[in-house]
Structure 1
Amino acid sequence: MFIKTRSGLLLAALSVSVAAQAQDYLPILQYHHVSESTPKSTSVTPAQFTEHMDYLKNAGFQVVDLKTALDDLKANKALPKKAVAITFDDSYLSIYEAGFPILKERSFPFTVFINTDPIGRSSRHFLTWDQIIEMQKSNGVFANHSINHPYMTRKEEGETQDAWLLRMAEEVDSVERLLKEKLGVSPKMFAYPYGESNEAVRTLLRERGMVAFGQQSGVVSADSNFDNLPRFPAAGPYANLSTLKTKLNAKPMPLLSEETGGDFASDQAVTLGLTFKEGNYRLKDLVCYVSGQGKAKLDWQSDTKVVASAEQPFNVGRGRINCTMPDATGQSYYWYSNVWIRAGADQNYVDMH
């Protein structure tokens, strides 16, 4: 309702303007190396990274602090329109040498998930605490990526389940102590090494009041699982700007529930059950792709529930199903991904649902 005064009309107009510029979801970009000489599968060159950051700036994206944005989403507080967050995994020196100057020039906030063992050993390819402190003073936030970057869902040879869980707790707790000691604060965020977790590990993080991230692609909203949040990889084969533009404009899949069968795949082909919220969605245009296999078979159980099936079992390692669906405008895609682990016989994975 408009108030018929100059100030009232201005306030009403401002409220409409703010509402039009808000969004209730967040795409998060994931990087590792910024270098021309590191493994291509996990790297962007400085030129590619500059291209990405220039696009964000020129296209009007609002680069936000990850921790603040997640807190706002959980509190159902709107984010700026075209909000996006930037993250790095691991403690690579190239983040400081090549990535940081580009970010600093644009005043973009960013988060680095650090594994602390190579920092403590003064490994020449990794960050130092002095460099981390310097970046912290220019919009850098440093979060937990374990001490040793282990496969967190694997036991060591001869290790009991209790001993494994204690070791995982120390991988988390030791870095939390270091962040507070060296930097004065921890954002209480954790990125699973290799993106792998199980329910015991997720519970461990949840009990510590921490938000955690996997390596499945997708967009974060208040409905997301904050024990295992998605991010979009933006390096290696995913560094192409046209592909990145599609992801930056993606929205969270409007799901009521999902049925994955757990964290682990067997010698049988996986299935994925998705139940959609009521709404004006282009469900007939939903497409799901199985890694290494092409399109999944879609079996609609009802008007709002579908089962996506792979044709073949996954090979040993990580396999995924990615699903996309155009929104009503056809200009953006809803996006969802799930990852399974197909364990090798000698890998000592702990399968806990």
Structure 2
Amino acid sequence: MLSKVHYSILLGALSASMAAQAQDYLPVLQYHHVSASSPKSTSVTPEQFTEHMDYLKNAGFQVVDLRSALDDLKANKPLPEKSVAISFDDAYRNIYQAGFPILKERNFPFTVFINSEPVERKSRSFLTWEQMKEMEQFGGVFANHTISHPYMLRKEKGETDEAWMSRMEKEVDTVESLLVKHLGSSPKMLAYPYGESNGRIRSMMAEKGIMAFGQQSGVVSADSDFENLPRFPASGAYAKLSTLKTKLNAKPMPLLSENAGGDYAGEEPVSINLTFKEGKYRLKDLACYVSGQGKATLEWVSEREVKATASKPFGVGRGRINCTMPDNSGKHYYWYSNVWIRSSADQGYVSEKS
């Protein structure tokens, strides 16, 4: 029989061991097509996808249900060690034809964000509700990617801010209703088309109780903005297993605050201020990279605050700054990314204040 003292010591050691194996962050992989004949920029071949999934299994990763894991993180509950989630955008039928059998064989849960318009008109290139019901039986979850996959921050010609917002609300609410109608429930998750959102759109998501994803890379933690969550793209140029391994070992950048100056880039180079939490970090090894430009200039405002600045303005479209820093073990990288939109007058983007 164990004495009370020995029992307490054993319990404490067990708790410490469990805490050491727990994970307080989540990398989420983003796929689109699983096909050798679809556009390469948004595709993995079935062979590449098999390679990815085999690596997850053989390396001991725990593939978890996305919504459940997000709920746990938000509530500061630990996830299993080496947790990762799998997601797809756009509800392409080749996910069912080529991706689903691979996931099913390995008992991996997954989430598909669907844009409902091509599903409702029964496009042969997109999933059917019947296929979704079958996939649900083997860990598939279906979430919101709007009706028509619009640029959510662009107004139609002559459209008022109020009419634009009403249209965006319909894009979201219609899919929520269809998920309930055809599948019985909605997980209350959304992926922004093209990753684009602003404060007003994100506030709408919060009011509806919907967790939403952008297209900035990084890992989710309790400190994340749950109306603008990061994911790691794993298709096209990002399909190499070597780069995927680095992302799967990423940790959230230990930030106290960030200031990117808004969602839009203008005629001046963008900059972002990052303030780090107290702790022993390899701040001298921090590196920030600007899409299409190389390294950003780093200016240390104080011991724990840095300003990263691009060398030149972005062109029209979306641009980003990615920052990485090795942790003290050297086995993981802290990861942070921010995306800006550089619009042109003819695209009809809402103003920063809208």
TM-score under structure 2 length normalisation:
0.97
2:191 corresponds to 1:201: no
Distance change (3 Å), C-alpha of 1:199 and 1:3: farther
Please say if 1:95 is aligned against 2:95. yes
Identity score, percent: 71
The CA RMSD measured in Å over matched residues stands at 1.3
1:222 and 1:9 map into 2 onto residues whose CA distance is 30
Shift of 1:159: 1.0
| Cα separation, 2, equivalents of 1:3 and 1:217 | 50
Counterpart Cα distance in 1 of 2:228 and 2:284: 28
Q: Deviations over 1:81-112 (max 9, x none)?
A: 00000000011001100000000000000000
Return the alpha-carbon distance in structure 1 between the equivalents of residues 12 and 336 of structure 2.
37
Q: Does the CA-based 8 Å contact 1:195-1:216 persist in structure 2?
A: yes
**Structure 1: how far apart are the matches of 2:326 and 2:126?**
41
Aligned to 2:173: 173
User: What's 1:141 paired with?
Assistant: 141
Structure 2 matches for 1:1-353, cutoff 5 A?
A: 4=4, 11-353=11-353
Read off the aligned partner of 1:164 and give its amino acid letter: W
| Residues 3 and 9 in structure 1, CA contact (< 8 A), matched pair in contact too | no
Q: Distance in 1 between matches of 2:303 and 2:9?
A: 44
Instruction: Tell me by how many angstroms 1:16 deviates.
Output: 3.1
Shift of 1:15: 2.4
Q: Tell whether the 8 Å contact from 1:50 to 1:102 is kept in structure 2 after alignment.
A: yes
CA–CA separation in structure 1 for the residues paired with 2:25 and 2:66: 12
Q: What is the deviation of 1:199? A: 1.1
Contact 1:114/1:142, CA 8 A, preserved across alignment: yes
Question: Which region of structure 1 is more displaced relative to structure 2, 17-26 or 207-216?
Answer: 17-26
C-alpha separation in 2, matches of 1:6 and 1:106: 41
Q: Contact 1:264–1:351 (CA<8 Å) still a contact in 2?
A: no
**1:157 Cα deviation (Å)?**
1.0
Q: Which amino acid aligns with 1:282?
A: R
Distance of 1:9 and 1:205 partners within structure 2: 46
Distance 1:3 1:193, change over 3 A: farther
For the residues of structure 2 that align with 1:195 and 1:249, how far apart are their CA atoms?
Answer: 23
- 1:133-156 CA deviation, whole Å, 9 max, x = no partner? 100111001000000000000001
The alpha-carbon deviation at position 185 of structure 1 amounts to: 0.7
Question: Cα deviations across residues 155-187 of structure 1 (Å, max 9, x unaligned)?
Answer: 011111111000000000000000111111101
Contact kept, 8 Å, 2:195 with 2:215, in 1: the verdict is: yes
Instruction: Please list the CA deviations of residues 254-297 of structure 1 after superposition, one character each: whole Å capped at 9, or x if unmatched.
Output: 00000101000001100010000000100000000000000000
Q: Which runs of 5+ in 2 are unaligned?
A: none
5+ residue gaps, structure 1, are none
**Secondary structure at the counterpart of residue 223 of structure 1:** coil
**8 Å CA contact 2:112, 2:140 repeated in 1:** yes
The amino acid that maps onto 1:40 is K
Question: How far is the alpha carbon of 1:238 from its aligned partner?
Answer: 0.2
| TM-score where L is the length of structure 1 | 0.97
Equivalent residue of 1:23, what SS?
coil
Aligned mates of 2:234, 2:152 — CA distance in 1: 24
Distance in 2 (CA, whole Å) between partners of 1:292 and 1:8 is: 57
**Matched pairs, number:** 352
Question: Which letter does structure 2 place at the counterpart of 1:184?
Answer: G
Q: Which runs of 4+ in 1 moved over 3 A?
A: 2-14
CA contact 1:149–1:193 (8 Å) conserved in 2: yes
CA contact (8 A) 2:27 2:84 kept: yes
> Match for 2:346: what amino acid?
D
